[in-house]
Amino acid sequence: MTLYASAPSNIALVKYWGKRNTQHNLPLTSSFSVTLETMRTWVAISPLSDGPDRWALYGNPKKAMRVLTEARAFTHNSQPLAISVHNDFPSGAGLASSASSMAALAFALDIALNDGNTPLSEVARWARLGSGSAVRSLYPGFVLWEAGQDPEGRDCIAQSRFHASQLPLDLIACVVDDRTKPIGSTEAMERCRDTSPSYAQFHARNADDLRRALHALQTQNLEALGQVSEENCLAMHAVMHQAQPPIDYFQDGTHAAIATVRALRQQGLPCFFTIDAGPNVKVLCPPAYTPALRKALEHTAGVTRLLFDRVSDSAARQEPTWPAHLPAHPPSNTISPQQTALLSSTTSFPPTGAA
């Protein structure tokens, strides 16, 4: 029996950019995000009669192996599996594909190995060990992921704080460059921790930014939410710009898209931007303004295409079928866990473009 599951990407408005514990992958400060709807990672899993596992994985093999190892340890189930993990949007370009892929994988493994009986907080732990931000893709709407204080992360939990309907928002992703980024978030965070003079300052503002974001949601104040989101995002990128050597994900198209958003706002169109570890700019606005924004953003120099999504209550879920446009499951390639563990943390397997 093959099972299918999917999880959406999520975009942080108050960012996670640093860890208090790398072994358990615990964040230094809490973060606040929106869960999307259509930018999803799909996972198919079927049992094999014997090992090794078979994988088709767009993403980071080391992270995926960590999730699988934790799931097997918790469920005491070592059933060999054929696993396909496919994004239906660009991987590794700051569109939070590691969040959706690790969330979808953890969610699907619970069904495959434990009939879906694992508490969501434990599934979230498996996802977190793959990628911290993945925890948030397991929850709907506007999500708070609390850093907690427990050394092993028992109080590092996420929860949905508002339904998507609290403040309906569309998201327009301005794709400036959809190639895999030169430096991944995990390594970039470490460099910032070790070398950036504004790293501590960024974390010092976290509590106030969270308070402002939650209050903006409570009062359905888009302008206030936009203001804190943009400030927090630019503060995170300032930390990176001051690292040694500096990390600068911005490209010309990134700056141009930011300028377009600011100009549109001056003209009275409610919208704001946020940018993660990549050059692509995510613009959020009330749905009624999407057509007008679309026109302006698609004519922005350096923006190669737009992707559309919305804040949604459809978090990780089981799916009845597998999308026809994705590569067939089960995969024909065979790779053992040992081989997988040897692959570098930046390698995609199979390489992008291969089925």
Residues that bind ligand DP6 (CB under 6 A): 12, 15-17, 25, 31, 96, 98-99, 131-133, 185-186, 276-277
Residues whose CB falls within 8 Å of the CB of residue 155, separated by 6 or more in sequence, listed in order: 146, 148, 149
Cβ distance to ligand DP6 smaller for residue 2 or 242:
242
Residues whose CB falls within 8 Å of the CB of residue 30, separated by 6 or more in sequence, listed in order: 14, 144, 145, 146, 147, 206, 210
The minimum distance between CB 237 and ligand DP6, in angstroms, equals 9
The minimum distance between CB 115 and ligand DP6, in angstroms, equals 28
Tell me the one-letter amino acid at 294: R
The minimum distance between CB 104 and ligand DP6, in angstroms, equals 14
- Residue with nearest beta carbon to ligand DP6: 132
Nearest to 216 by CA among 138, 256, 281, 272: 272
Complete DSSP assignment for 211-224: HHHHHHHHTT-HHH
Cβ distance to ligand DP6 smaller for residue 61 or 331:
61
Cβ distance to ligand DP6 smaller for residue 216 or 239:
239
Cβ distance to ligand DP6 smaller for residue 79 or 198:
198
The minimum distance between CB 54 and ligand DP6, in angstroms, equals 24
H helices present in 38-184, as ranges:
61-75, 97-114, 120-130
The minimum distance between CB 52 and ligand DP6, in angstroms, equals 25
The minimum distance between CB 131 and ligand DP6, in angstroms, equals 3
Instruction: Report the DSSP pairing between strands 305-310 and 170-175.
Output: antiparallel
Cβ distance to ligand DP6 smaller for residue 59 or 331:
59
Cβ distance to ligand DP6 smaller for residue 110 or 276:
276
Nearest to 209 by CA among 226, 196, 222, 193: 226
